[in-house]
Amino acid sequence: MSRIAHIALVVRDYDEAIAFYVGKLGFTLVADEYQAEQDKRWVLVSPPGAPEAATTILLARASKPEQEAFIGNQAGGRVFLFLATDDFDRDYAAFTVAGVEWVRPPAEQPYGKVAVFADLYGNFWDLVEFK
């Protein structure tokens, strides 16, 4: 074992999730393939500039009520994912212009500069430029 290939993010709708991650955050749409045998899509996104072998996010549409209950709360109200940047101010400004909802404003921490935002479903993310 050498790496985590994908992380599943439970979403309500494929297209609205793609619109947020690709349209607002500027992520790359890596795959969007229909899987007829399961009547679902295989939708992968990754941050722009991520290496080909980097971990991707699988946008996994909830298909049962039990799964729907976790949309927007995959980490029980904690920060769920951490998006590293090499230019915090650039990305913070771009996300703000795109209408991203900031939950906590930028702050200098011992490990770097960070702010918390919510995705379209309410999952919390750190945008962080590590020192």
Q: What is the pLDDT of residue 59?
A: 98
**Range 82-93 average pLDDT:** 97
- Would you say residue 91 has pLDDT above 90? yes
Task: Name the pLDDT band for 52 (thresholds 50, 70, 90).
Answer: confident
- Would you say residue 131 has pLDDT above 90? yes
Whether residue 105 contacts residue 116, with contact meaning beta carbons closer than 8 Å, is answered with no
- For the entire predicted model, the pTM comes to 0.94
In the block, residue with structure tokens 């490990």:
111
